[in-house]
Amino acid sequence: MKSERLIKHQIQPCPVSCVCTCLAMITGRPAPEVIDKWHAKYREGNTAMRVILDDLGIQARSFDTLDNISLCEEGVYLCTAPSLNIQAGNHQILVELTEDDYYVLDPVQGRDERMYYVKRGEAGNDEWAVELGGFTIDAHVTREWLLGRCNA
């Protein structure tokens, strides 16, 4: 039996709101709600991701970049990848792992003339789609937590 996907894609409303949009996808809240509360503080360096996760009630296991982490447990992973649209910038994406497959959720996908990440083999002829290569895993949210969120 195929595992159901639990994360619904949302589009970041501005070029630099990827972090808050990813967190909105995890909570199931509208992106503007999370952005209004946290985006400016995060962009200005006045708060940490951990503070936002705690405020939103997201139970996540965070990782140090020196850890040897891989996508192995079901759930959703907060990942940092090189920005495809902002030179020398970083970009936040989600990778949802189910029992059967994995899915890349890039919040910039759907914005006009913006490149976005997709899983390997899914770029096809889309000139804006780029197959995900290198990234770091920042945190993991379990499938159990996501199911609890969905059933609350």
Q: pLDDT grade, residue 1 (50/70/90)?
A: low
The answer to whether residue 66 scores a pLDDT higher than 90 is no
The answer to whether residue 150 scores a pLDDT higher than 70 is no
The answer to whether residue 32 scores a pLDDT higher than 70 is yes
Mean pLDDT, the chain, whole residue set: 93
DSSP 8-class letter at 114: -
DSSP 8-class letter at 49: H
